[in-house]
Amino acid sequence: MIPLSHSLAIAALLFVLGLAVVLLRRELLFILIGLEVMLNGVALTATAAGQYWGNADGQVLVIMLMTVTAAEVAVALILVWLAFDHYRAARVEALTQLREETERRTS
């Protein structure tokens, strides 16, 4: 049997990997993939902990997680598609319409 600390370490690595992808990549689709990797790290933690404690709560958590993430990604992908449709771009640099307005605007 694999000890809990090993699986937790791998899961933490996955989470950090996903975090790095979200923070470093500039393409919207990669950011979504990074989020998925982060959530997979969570799922691994929950499954491993469920095995360690010998109850089903961890697996319930993973099933809930998968369902909710599917819904979340569906909506997020529609938004990315809309961005591509309107701006012809799938990178974050294209999204710069909203910004600070501390100076008095003359319009």
Partner 1 sequence: MHSADLINLLPYLLPATGGLVILILSIWPKRVSTRFLSTTALTFLLLGATATLLWQVPGAVGSLLVIDEISRIFTLFFMLGAAAIMLLSFGYAPIRNELHEEYLSLILFATSGMALLVSSNNLVSAFVGLEMLAVPLYALIAWQPTRYGAIEGGIKYAVLASFAAAFFLYGVALAYASGGTLDLAELNTIASSASLLPVAITLILIGIGFKVALAPFHMWAPDIYQAAPSPITALFASLSKAATLVFLIRLLCLQLPLIWEALLPLLWGIALISMIVGNLLALHQQNLKRLLAYSSVAHLGYILVALSAGNSAGRDAAIYYAVTLAIMNLGVFAVIVAFTRRDQDRENLTDYRGLGRRYPVLGIGMGICLLALAGLPPTAGFMAKLFAFGAAIEAGNVILAIVAVINTALAFFYYLRVIGVLFSEEETAVGTSLTAQGPLMVIIIAMILVIGLGIFPQWLLGLLEPP
Half-sphere exposure of 27 (CA within 13 A, CB side): 4
Among 9, 20, 24, 95, binds partner 1 (CB under 8 A): 95
76 binds partner 1 (CB under 8 A): yes
Residues that contact partner 1, how many (by CB under 8 A): 52
Q: Which of 6, 2, 10 is nearest to 43 (CA)?
A: 10
DSSP letter for 94, please. G
3-state secondary structure at position 43: helix
Q: In the chain, what's the furthest Cα-to-Cα distance? A: 69
10 binds partner 1 (CB under 8 A): no
- The encoded tokens of residue 66 equal 């998968």
Which residues form the interface with partner 1 (CB under 8 A)? 4, 8, 11, 15, 18, 22, 28, 31-32, 35, 38-39, 41-43, 45-46, 48-50, 52-53, 55, 57-58, 60-61, 64-65, 68, 71-72, 75-76, 78-80, 82-83, 86-87, 95-98, 100-105, 107
